[in-house]
Amino acid sequence: MPIRQFQAQRMVAPRQFKPIENKPVVIEIGAGKGKHALLFAQQYPDTTLYAIERTREKFDAMQKQATLTPNSHFHPIHADALPWITHALYPKQVSTFYILYPNPEPHNSAQRWLNMPFFEFLLSRLVEGGQIILASNIVDYIAEAEQQLLQVWKLPYEKQTIASDSSRTHFEVKYLARGELCQQLVMTKPQHYTTRFDDFMPLNGVNP
């Protein structure tokens, strides 16, 4: 399906937004209660991770757990991902985006990640050789995303079956316990891959 251009300059900054430094980062979008983010922060304590969660209850749970094991490189963010990323991130700053079990948007396919104009902006923030990891328990969601990768975004990727004993998120634990097939697409940004946002600098909280 055709993708219109994302209107980055129209994004209003999240409340209490704070700019970040232009240093290498990992981003988790829709981090929930932070199970994966906290495990990642423990495994890679020197890697700067921003874990974004929109829902207040889930964010509060993640933040509470983060205070129990302090790590100056781990930053829980309470915000909608699109405006936060537009205002905060620099071109080619992110080594990995994690999007684990996003809302499949059954009634609005245009809101699925690879169908959104915003996905082009996301790619502009990714370093060359960087990866986007998208996981889902919905076979049709993965299949549609594959088609978009091939036809629209022209990105190399690997489709992987997630091991039955994996436990990165609460959703993953639940789905695997029910015997559901969980899969992920590991997308890689090639060298010299270009987007229309490669020179777009972060808005840094300045609203239009």
pLDDT, tens only, 18-73: 999 999 999 999 999 999 999 999 999 999 999 999 999 999 999 999 999 889 99
Based on the number of CB atoms within 10 Å of its own CB, is 190 exposed (0-12), middle (13-18) or buried (19 or more)? exposed
Which tokens in the block code for residue 24?
A: 């290498």
**pTM for this entry:** 0.96
| Helix (H) or strand (E) run with residue 38 in it | helix 35-43
Q: Which fold has domain 80-188?
A: Rossmann fold (3.40.50)
Q: At what angle do helices 118-125 and 81-88 cross, to 10 degrees?
A: 40
Residue 140's CB: how many other CB atoms inside 10 A?
10
Which tokens in the block code for residue 174?
A: 């639940």
| Helix (H) or strand (E) run with residue 63 in it | helix 56-68
Predicted confidence (pLDDT) per residue in 127-153, tens digit: 999 999 999 999 999 999 999 999 999
Question: b or e along 106-136 (b: 16 or more beta carbons within 10 Å of the residue's beta carbon)?
Answer: eeeeeebbbbbebbbbbbbbbeeebbbbbbb
Please check the confidence at residue 117 and state whether its pLDDT lies above 90. yes
Please check the confidence at residue 113 and state whether its pLDDT lies above 60. yes
Based on the number of CB atoms within 10 Å of its own CB, is 179 exposed (0-12), middle (13-18) or buried (19 or more)? exposed
- Report the first-to-last Cα separation within the chain, whole angstroms: 30
The mean pLDDT value for 95-103 works out to 97
For residue 203, which of 55, 3, 20 has the smallest C-alpha distance?
20
